[in-house]
C-alpha cells in the first residue's frame, strides 16, 4: 500500500503536494510551507535548471531571482532552453532546484554518513518573458538575488543588451522543500565503536571586496557589499 503524502497545510500558506513533489524516501523531511520554501530560495542565487533536449536530460547551473510566486532565469537569446521556452505554447517543461549544504554528518558507519541541507525542487512550465517592463524588473531581481541592492548601484541594461538577453519565468506552483538537521543516525550496536561521530558545519562566507584595477580610488566600497 503506498504511503499517504505529507499534509499540505491549510489555506494559501502552503503548496499542494503532487505525485512529483512527494519524495519516495524520508518523507518526514518534506515541507510544502510557503514561508519555508521562500526562505530557502531567498538565501540562494544559484539554481540548477533541468530539461530534456534531444530526448536526453540536461542540467544547467544559472542565476535566478524570485518575485512573489515566480522565479526568473536569464541567459543569452541564443541559449537553446530559453529559445524553446518561447518557441510555442505551452513553453518548456523544466525542473529547477536549489540546495544549501549546512553540515557534513559523519557517522560511525560509512552507510549512515549524510549531510544537513535545505533544498527546494520546482516543477513546471517555463515561459519566455516578452513584456519589456517585466523583463527589466526580472533582471533587476536576478542581480539583487545575488547581491541585494546592486541593481540600483549599476547601469541598467541598454536596448542592445536587452535585445541580447532572454528571460524566462517559472511559477511556484508544483513545489516542495526538503530539510535535514541533526546528528548521525547510527545503529545502536555501533555506538560503542571508537570512531568520531558528529557534524562538521558548513557555511557560506564572503571575502573582502577586491576593487577592479581600473576603479577610480574615489569610489568607495558600498554599504551593501560591506553588509555581506
Between CA 36 and CA 74 the distance in angstroms is 25
pLDDT of residue 135: 92
Asked whether residue 58 carries a pLDDT value surpassing 80, the answer given is yes
Contact (Cβ atoms closer than 8 angstroms) between residue 25 and residue 6 = no
Asked whether residue 211 carries a pLDDT value surpassing 80, the answer given is yes
Q: Return the higher-pLDDT residue of 161 and 197.
A: 197
Q: What is the pTM of this model?
A: 0.88
Could you identify the residue written with the cell 519516495?
24
Residues 124-147, mean pLDDT to the nearest whole number: 94
pLDDT, tens only, 84-114? 665 556 689 999 999 999 999 999 999 999 9
- Average model confidence (pLDDT) across the chain: 89
Q: Would you give the distance in Å from CA 181 to the centre of its chain?
A: 19
pLDDT of residue 54: 84
Residues 23-46, mean pLDDT to the nearest whole number: 91
CA count, 13 A, side-chain hemisphere, 10: 0
pLDDT of residue 148: 95
Residues 174-181, mean pLDDT to the nearest whole number: 96
pLDDT of residue 163: 85
Asked whether residue 197 carries a pLDDT value surpassing 60, the answer given is yes
Q: Return the higher-pLDDT residue of 188 and 12.
A: 188
The yes or no reply on domain 13-181 and CATH 2.30.110.10 is: yes
pLDDT of residue 24: 79
Amino acid at each position: 500500500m503506498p504511503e499517504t503524502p505529507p499534509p499540505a497545510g491549510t489555506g494559501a500558506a502552503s503548496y499542494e503536494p503532487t505525485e512529483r513533489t512527494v519524495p519516495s524516501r524520508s518523507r518526514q523531511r518534506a515541507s510544502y510551507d510557503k514561508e519555508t520554501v521562500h526562505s530557502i530560495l531567498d538565501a540562494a542565487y544559484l539554481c540548477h535548471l533541468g530539461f530534456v533536449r534531444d530526448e536526453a536530460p540536461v542540467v544547467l547551473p544559472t542565476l535566478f531571482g524570485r518575485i512573489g510566486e515566480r522565479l526568473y532565469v536569464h541567459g543569452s537569446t541564443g541559449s537553446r532552453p530559453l529559445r524553446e521556452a518561447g518557441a510555442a505554447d505551452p513553453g518548456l517543461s523544466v525542473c529547477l532546484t536549489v540546495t544549501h549544504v549546512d553540515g557534513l554528518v559523519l557517522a560511525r558507519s560509512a552507510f549512515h554518513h549524510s549531510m544537513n541541507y535545505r533544498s527546494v525542487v520546482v516543477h513546471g512550465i517555463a515561459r519566455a518573458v516578452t513584456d519589456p517592463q517585466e523583463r527589466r524588473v526580472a533582471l533587476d531581481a536576478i542581480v539583487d538575488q545575488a547581491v541585494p541592492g546592486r541593481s540600483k548601484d549599476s547601469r541598467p541594461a541598454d536596448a542592445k543588451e536587452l535585445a541580447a538577453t532572454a528571460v524566462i519565468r517559472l511559477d511556484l506552483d508544483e513545489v516542495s522543500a526538503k530539510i535535514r538537521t541533526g546528528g548521525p543516525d547510527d545503529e545502536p550496536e555501533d555506538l560503542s565503536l571508537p570512531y568520531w561521530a558528529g557534524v562538521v558545519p558548513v557555511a557560506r562566507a564572503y571575502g573582502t571586496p577586491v576593487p577592479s584595477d581600473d576603479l577610480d580610488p574615489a569610489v568607495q566600497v558600498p554599504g551593501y557589499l560591506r553588509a555581506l
